[in-house]
């Protein structure tokens, strides 16, 4: 089939972070682009992930700020919180972003199909309406979807897809899982006054983050009233006649009684039913699309970016992958993505953030040839707020070259501070470079240049 015989140069399935970026950039290179989206333009991050979550974090944080205000001379009347007001304001902002992303596509002359699309061959997709379209290239950017382990009564639980729409704030919440979503919503619900119990199958929370930070988060959140049940997989959930839920945990005689169960046990590539087999696109064990370094699948005309490839499930990574794909395929620019030193953060309360190797990863790679510096301090804000909570910053250094291998921090504003520090780690700066930088006083970030 000659090039001009295709309906489009690029057909993108999924208008999330990666798909929208790829569409826009490909169109700016002159490609004729169409995108199909079965739900709302914007994807997980904008519609039911990072953005609304961060707004809920901000909203819940006022509890602490308002309490602290009295120490600064403010008289704050009776504190009342109205969940529907926050929920609806957040959902309104999601509408705003949905419209902004749609405008971006329109402005770039990307044709939109607000319906599901499935692959029917190397150059063809079928829309839910039954229409069949062809494209020289197809980009699959459908993201991932929450996984709920199978246990009796799972239908009574919700996932992060539904949590933004709760009709009312639950009094008691049980959260299954102790990863990103679990710890972020544990913080939100706890700050809003709900009783929170985090239940995990293992004895680990936030696997992959530096151990000292995870311990610190555990201590602080327990002191704030969050309860933990580790090594406790769900056995079953029972809905009682009074509407309450019972979470029965394996090996535990008494169920946890609560009003809401949020399951946050990971997300799986959303490939089922996508027709990828019709084009010979191979999937991995977790249903992820196998791609090479350029995002190409096992079919030469089909590419994939973002969570559906299950490499690094983070929005900025999907955006980079989408951008690089469009530049490479339609702009003639050879762009490579470096997956080294990707900073990440958990918007728990307090938040934590990290970049580069953790202490245990560095020990595995470098043996005893590393130096670990740390600063364990009580932020000024907490002293004045009569809160005993301490921040902890850690820097891991290659003892041979003095190069900083990783920085990990927990404490107020840790993600904001870490983003800047990540530039230094990515650039390969040394501990001596940090030491040579004058502190910015008084700040929490100054601890980064004062570790001796």
From the list 172-180, 214-222, 277-285, 362-370, the region that binds ligand NDP by CB under 6 A is 172-180
What does DSSP say about strands 132-140 and 124-127: parallel, antiparallel, or unpaired? antiparallel
The minimum distance between CB 426 and ligand NDP, in angstroms, equals 18
CB-CB neighbours of 341 under 10 Å: 18
From the list 173-181, 269-277, 295-303, 326-334, the region that binds ligand NDP by CB under 6 A is 173-181
Q: Tell me if residue 274 falls in helix, strand or coil.
A: coil
Q: How far apart are CA 106 and CA 16, in angstroms?
A: 15
What does DSSP say about strands 267-269 and 144-146: parallel, antiparallel, or unpaired? antiparallel
Q: Which of 123, 165, 248, 441 is catalytic?
A: 441
The minimum distance between CB 334 and ligand NDP, in angstroms, equals 28
Asked if 237 contacts 153 with a C-beta cutoff of 8 angstroms, the reply is: yes
Give the residue with the Cβ less far from ligand NDP, 95 or 203: 203
Q: How far apart are CA 25 and CA 409, in angstroms?
A: 35
Q: How far apart are CA 378 and CA 414, in angstroms?
A: 13
The minimum distance between CB 198 and ligand NDP, in angstroms, equals 9
From the list 130-138, 177-185, 329-337, 375-383, the region that binds ligand NDP by CB under 6 A is 177-185
The minimum distance between CB 204 and ligand NDP, in angstroms, equals 5
The minimum distance between CB 343 and ligand NDP, in angstroms, equals 10
Positive or negative CA dihedral for 397, 349, 345, 215?
positive
Q: Tell whether omega for the bond before 202 is within 30 degrees of 0, i.e. cis.
A: no
Report angle CA 45, 53, 141 to the nearest 5 degrees.
10
Q: Does 180 engage in binding with ligand NDP (CB under 6 A)?
A: yes
Q: Does 297 engage in binding with ligand NDP (CB under 6 A)?
A: no
Residue 165: closest CA among 86, 97, 243, 98:
86
CB-CB neighbours of 250 under 10 Å: 12
Q: How far apart are CA 25 and CA 108, in angstroms?
A: 9
According to CB under 6 A, which one of 42, 59, 179, 343 is a site residue for ligand NDP?
179
Q: Does 341 engage in binding with ligand NDP (CB under 6 A)?
A: no
**Widest CA span in the chain:** 75
The minimum distance between CB 151 and ligand NDP, in angstroms, equals 9
Give the residue with the Cβ less far from ligand NDP, 317 or 392: 317
Q: How far apart are CA 133 and CA 156, in angstroms?
A: 40
Asked if 108 contacts 28 with a C-beta cutoff of 8 angstroms, the reply is: yes
Is 441 among the residues known to form the active site? yes
Give one word for 39, left, alpha or beta, with left for phi > 0 and alpha for psi -120 to 50.
alpha
From the list 171-179, 253-261, 391-399, 432-440, the region that binds ligand NDP by CB under 6 A is 171-179
The minimum distance between CB 120 and ligand NDP, in angstroms, equals 30
Q: Does 346 engage in binding with ligand NDP (CB under 6 A)?
A: yes
Q: Does 264 engage in binding with ligand NDP (CB under 6 A)?
A: yes
Q: Does 161 engage in binding with ligand NDP (CB under 6 A)?
A: no
Residue 424: closest CA among 452, 395, 382, 447:
395
Asked if 289 contacts 269 with a C-beta cutoff of 8 angstroms, the reply is: yes
Give the residue with the Cβ less far from ligand NDP, 127 or 345: 345
Q: Does 344 engage in binding with ligand NDP (CB under 6 A)?
A: yes
Mask 210-249, x = binds ligand NDP (CB under 6 A)?
A: -----------------------x----------------
Q: Does 265 engage in binding with ligand NDP (CB under 6 A)?
A: yes
Query: Whose CB is nearest to ligand NDP?
Result: 179
Q: Does 306 engage in binding with ligand NDP (CB under 6 A)?
A: no
The minimum distance between CB 177 and ligand NDP, in angstroms, equals 3
Mask 411-430, x = binds ligand NDP (CB under 6 A)?
A: --------------------
The minimum distance between CB 335 and ligand NDP, in angstroms, equals 23
Q: Does 267 engage in binding with ligand NDP (CB under 6 A)?
A: yes
According to CB under 6 A, which one of 22, 33, 181, 337 is a site residue for ligand NDP?
181
According to CB under 6 A, which one of 137, 347, 373, 434 is a site residue for ligand NDP?
347
Q: Tell me if residue 345 falls in helix, strand or coil.
A: strand
Site for ligand NDP in 120-139 (CB under 6 A): none
Helix residue ranges, H only, 29-82: 43-48, 50-69
The first and second tokens of residue 302, run together, are 């089909």
The first and second tokens of residue 371, run together, are 């130096």
Binding-site ranges for ligand NDP (CB under 6 A): 149, 177-182, 184, 200-202, 204, 207, 233, 264-267, 313-314, 344-347
Active-site residues, by number, are: 441
């Amino acid at each position: 089939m000659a090039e001009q015989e295709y309906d489009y140069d690029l057909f993108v399935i999924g208008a999330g972070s990666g798909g929208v970026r790829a569409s826009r950039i490909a169109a700016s290179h002159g490609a004729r682009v169409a995108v199909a989206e079965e739900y709302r333009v914007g994807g997980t991050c904008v519609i039911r992930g990072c953005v609304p979550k961060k707004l809920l974090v901000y909203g819940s944080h006022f509890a602490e700020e308002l309490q602290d205000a009295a120490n600064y001379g403010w008289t704050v009347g009776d504190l009342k919180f109205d969940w529907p007001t926050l929920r609806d304001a957040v959902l309104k902002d999601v509408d705003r972003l949905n419209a902004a992303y749609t405008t971006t596509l329109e402005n770039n002359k990307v044709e939109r199909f607000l319906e599901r699309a499935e692959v029917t061959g190397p150059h063809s997709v079928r829309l839910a309406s039954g229409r069949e379209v062809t494209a020289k290239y197809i980009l699959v950017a459908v993201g991932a979807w929450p996984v709920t382990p199978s246990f009796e009564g799972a239908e009574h639980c919700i996932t992060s897809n539904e949590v933004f729409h709760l009709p009312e704030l639950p009094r008691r919440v049980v959260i299954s899982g102790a990863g990103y979503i679990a710890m972020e919503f544990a913080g939100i619900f706890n700050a809003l006054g709900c009783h929170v119990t985090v239940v995990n199958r293992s004895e680990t929370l936030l696997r992959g983050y530096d151990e000292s930070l995870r311990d610190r988060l555990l201590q602080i959140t327990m002191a704030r009233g969050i309860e933990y049940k580790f090594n406790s997989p769900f056995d079953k959930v029972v809905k009682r006649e009074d509407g309450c839920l019972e979470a029965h945990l394996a090996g535990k005689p008494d169920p946890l009684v609560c009003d809401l169960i949020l399951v946050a046990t990971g997300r799986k590539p959303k490939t089922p039913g996508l027709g990828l087999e019709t084009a010979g696109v191979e999937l991995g064990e977790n249903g992820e699309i196998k791609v090479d370094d350029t995002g190409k699948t096992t079919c030469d005309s089909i590419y994939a970016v973002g969570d559906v490839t299950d490499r690094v499930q983070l929005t900025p990574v999907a955006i980079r992958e989408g951008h690089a794909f469009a530049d490479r395929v339609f702009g003639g620019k050879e762009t490579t993505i470096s997956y080294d030193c990707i900073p990440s953060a958990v918007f728990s309360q307090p938040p934590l953030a990290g970049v580069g190797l953790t202490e245990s990863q560095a020990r595995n790679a470098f043996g005893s040839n590393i130096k670990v510096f740390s600063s364990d301090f009580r932020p000024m804000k907490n002293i004045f707020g009569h809160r005993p909570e301490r921040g902890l910053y850690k820097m891991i250094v290659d003892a041979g070259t003095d190069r900083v291998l990783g920085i990990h921090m927990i404490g107020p504003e840790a993600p904001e501070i870490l983003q800047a520090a990540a530039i230094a780690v990515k650039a390969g700066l040394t501990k001596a470079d940090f030491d040579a930088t004058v502190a910015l006083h008084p700040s929490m970030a100054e601890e980064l240049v004062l570790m001796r």
